[in-house]
Amino acid sequence: MDKKKVLKSGEFLVAEVEPEDIFIPEEFNEEQKMITQTCRDFLDAEVYPNLEETEKGNRELMKSILKKAGELGLMGISVPEEYGGFEQSFVTQMLVAEITGAGYSFSVAYMAHCGIGTLPVVYYGNENQRQHYVTKLATGELLGAYCLTEPGAGSDANSGKTNARLSEDGKHYVINGQKMWITNAGFADTLIVFAKIDTDRVLSAFIIETKFPGVVIGPDEHKMGIKGSSTAQIYFNDVKVPVENLLGKRGEGFRIALSILHMGRIKLGANVLGAAKKTITDSVKYANERKQFGVLISSFGAIKHKLAEQVIRLFASESAVYRVSKDIDNMIGKLKEGCGDTGRATIEAISHYAVEAAMLKVLGSEMLDFVADEAVQIHGGMGYSAEMDVEKGYRDSRINRIFEGTNEINRLLVVDTAMKRAMKGDFDLFGKAEILFNGVDKISGGEVKGENYFAEKTRYIDNFKKVILLCIHGAVKQFEKGLMNEQEVLNNIADMMMEIYVSESLSLRVAKLDTLKENISVYKDILDVNVYDAAEVVRKSAYDAVYSFADDEKAAVLIRAIDDLTKIRGINVKNSRRRIADRLIEDNYYKF
């Protein structure tokens, strides 16, 4: 691959990528490691000692913790230097999102402020708005929130009823409406609010201060988890908003909302890593202390299986997160050359990788749910006790499959967005798919005699990609424009895409580790089990898709090809998982 080429969103389906082309967490520099330690120290000093009290919904306490984070500079990581921030790379922003992800409800409040509460003004605000608001949001002097969802407008955000009309003197917009599920509502100073001006069909965005007359904050919701996060409804009753507080252009609100959702999704993919790492550490520490039948439960094969599977899924997700994070940094650099505006370049780069953002959101949230569930099981009865962190983590994890667009919506977006990008000419998906489909009876898995370890893994993953191309072409040919109504088939394709992106990212990471002269035997075990399991996911998803769009005769031909393309060498998964678990048990802490 051309080193100067920036891989486009979804292009992984047809592109060849080399290990040297990606970034892996083992390459964090000293400054990034120092920022990591600062975040961890903050959690230890300010967040964990106050968990019990914040869980009671103490708004003032959470507000004070956020203010302290601002004083330390933790709220300015993503903000340009000219507005009081540190303007760190996107990789560093994702690293901070990861580390703070271990902070339970604090993580939600912090990420809402630093992300959706601040960055819309950074990315879309004019210079006056940036100077007036961003400089204070970056230090925590002001705390921010984001108001999009309404009682009748969830996934279909553009159906919102909140209205803005220009006052007779032309100096204000008068806003009326209601927003719900607003994170940080109880103590926010500034709100990013979406409303339709007059009879507009599309949204506009506004910066509203909670001190403006007519802004009414409701009581905090009683939630299943993230109880320390203030979540409430906000009412706007004839709120007069200065015309200069229109964010972006009139009618640009829907675009702003979508762009910010892409950002929220991809950062959630990093955020869940920190939560999962803490949860795995809690799991192994308990397993190394709890005895049954006179021995530590960490010595049991069934527990080792659980611990190893937690590690495999997390390590694989992490590989994908930092791979695309570096792609976004590369794209930011490329776009900034053209526009000269860091904010606009950043949001355009994040929006460009909409396919990967949706994938990482789904993958990460489901990975954390799995890890949290297994942690409770490892703890047994104690895992169900509110005394234990894993109980809190289990409840907190569930919201991530709903946050930033439900996983159902995001699965559909994965396929739809990738296909639209291909139709625009970003990469040749349909041409390659057609050639493959027309020669399906000649397809072979292509076992190569004497191929090395990584060449074998690359061949497997390339074959998995061919399965996707066959399914995409077959589905498009059968359903044509009606494919978007065949959500089950789209889900089959999305599951394959996500599985393959993670497996490829993991394979590239382990191959790069090998060039760094690391002892990679345990990482090969992680990769072996991951690819072994991925083959089954791809095969099953492809079967389901094919039987949904092909007649019996064509299905038989396609199934033979799918069987050949998903055929891999067997491995002793029991021993591989035991070696992974033994490493975790010996460390008594997640250190992969």
Domain boundaries, the chain: 25-143, 145-249, 254-409, 428-587
Percent of the chain with pLDDT strictly greater than 70:
99
- pLDDT for res 1: 37
Q: Tell me the pLDDT tens digit for each residue of 35-65.
A: 999 999 999 999 999 999 999 999 999 999 9
- The closest alpha carbon to 108, from 160, 157, 153, 146, belongs to 146
- Return the half-sphere exposure (C-beta side, CA atoms, 13 A cut-off) of residue 41: 9
SS3 331: helix
The predicted-structure confidence for 73-87, as pLDDT tens digits, reads as follows 999 999 999 999 999
The dihedral sign for the CA sequence 133, 136, 138, 144: negative
* C-alpha distance from residue 111 to each of 107, 123, 335 (Å): 6, 16, 25
Q: Give the bridge partners for 144, in sequence order.
A: 190
pLDDT at 2: 41
Range with the poorest average pLDDT among 94-108, 130-144, 317-331, 433-447: 433-447
Q: How much is the average pLDDT of 514-528?
A: 93
Q: Is the pLDDT of residue 426 over 50?
A: yes
pLDDT of 337 reads 87
pLDDT value of position 289: 96
DSSP symbols for 90-134: HHHHHHHHHHHGGGTHHHHHHHHHHTTTTHHHHHH--HHHIIIII
Task: State the Rg of the chain over Cα.
Answer: 24
Q: Is the pLDDT of residue 3 over 60?
A: no
CA 533 to chain centre: 22
Give residue 5's pLDDT: 64
CATH topology for 145-249 is Butyryl-CoA Dehydrogenase, subunit A; domain 2 (2.40.110)
In this predicted model, what pLDDT tens digit does every residue of 434-493 receive, in sequence order? 999 999 988 887 778 889 999 999 999 999 999 999 999 999 999 999 999 999 999 999
List C-alpha distances in Å: 421 to 9, 491, 538. Answer: 8, 18, 23
Q: How many CA atoms lie within 13 A of 175 on its CB side?
A: 37
* pLDDT (mean) for 386-412: 95
Residue recorded with tokens 């869940």: 272
**pLDDT, tens digit (0-9, with 9 covering 90-100), for 320-373:** 999 999 999 999 999 988 887 888 899 999 999 999 999 999 999 999 999 999
**Matching fold, domains 145-249 and 428-587:** no
What is the CATH architecture of 428-587? Answer: Up-down Bundle (1.20)
Closest CA relative to residue 103, chosen from 45, 26, 185: 45
pLDDT tens digits, one per residue of 209-267: 999 999 999 999 999 999 999 999 999 999 999 999 999 999 999 999 999 999 999 99
> Dihedral of CA 123/127/130/133: which sign?
negative
CA distance 436 to 104: 47
Among the listed residues 98, 366, 391, 404, the single catalytic one is: 404
404 is catalytic: yes
Round the average pLDDT of the chain to a whole number and report it. Answer: 94
Alpha-carbon gap, residue 292 to 51, rounded angstroms:
30
Topology (CATH level 3) of domain 25-143? Butyryl-Coa Dehydrogenase, subunit A; domain 1 (1.10.540)
The pLDDT score that the predictor gives to residue 278 is 98
Q: Which residue has the tokens 């394979």?
A: 507
H helix and E strand count, the chain: 20, 10
What whole-number distance in Å separates Cα of residue 544 and Cα of residue 232? 42
Q: Mean per-residue pLDDT for 192-212? A: 96
For 178-190, what is the mean pLDDT?
96
What are the structure tokens assigned to 45, written together?
A: 């000093």
pLDDT tens per residue across span 531-584: 999 999 999 999 999 999 999 999 999 999 999 999 999 999 999 999 999 999
Is CATH 1.10.10.60 the classification given to domain 254-409?
no
